[in-house]
Amino acid sequence: MLKTALKPRWIAGLVFALLLSGVFVLLSQWQFGRSTQSDASVDDPAVEQVKPLTGELQPGTFFPGSASDQMVSAKGSYDPTKQVLVEGRLLAGQKGYWVVTAFAVDGAPVLHGVGATGKTWIPVARGW
Q: Where residue 17 falls among pLDDT bands split at 50, 70, 90?
A: very high
Whole-structure pTM value? 0.51
CA distance 101 to 81: 8
Q: Report, as an integer, the average pLDDT of 107-112.
A: 69
CA distance 73 to 92: 27
pLDDT at 114 over 50: no
Q: Report, as an integer, the average pLDDT of 29-43.
A: 78
**Contact by Cβ (8 Å): 127, 99:** yes
Q: Where residue 43 falls among pLDDT bands split at 50, 70, 90?
A: low
Phi first, then psi: what are they for 85, rounded to 5°?
A: -110, 130
Domain chopping of the chain, boundaries:
2-36, 45-127
3-state secondary structure of 61: coil
Of the two residues 33 and 39, the one the predictor is more confident about is 33
pLDDT at 72 over 70: yes
| The pLDDT value given to residue 18 | 97
Q: Report, as an integer, the average pLDDT of 65-86.
A: 85
Q: Where are the alpha helices (DSSP H) in the chain?
A: 2-5, 8-36, 53-56
CA distance 72 to 58: 12
| The pLDDT value given to residue 97 | 92
